Amino acid sequence: RCEIARALATDPRLILLDEPFAGVDPIAVIDIQKIIRFLKERGIGVLI
């Protein structure tokens, strides 16, 4: 989550996430999925 926040600091139109679920517990995976959906709703492209 911290790295996603860091990437958003520059107000990008596209974010590249390399293995965002690797080594993450199941609850955090759900949180990351929610963040990705939120980014989509705001018009920010997400490439996984």
**What is the Cα–Cα distance from 12 to 8, expressed in whole angstroms?**
6
Give residue 4's pLDDT.
Answer: 85
Q: What is the pLDDT of residues 11-48, one digit of tens each?
A: 999 999 999 999 999 999 999 999 999 999 999 999 99
Mark residue 43 as left, alpha or beta (left: phi above 0; alpha: psi -120 to 50; beta: remaining): left
Give residue 35's pLDDT.
Answer: 93
Residue owning tokens 């709703």 = 41
Give residue 30's pLDDT.
Answer: 95
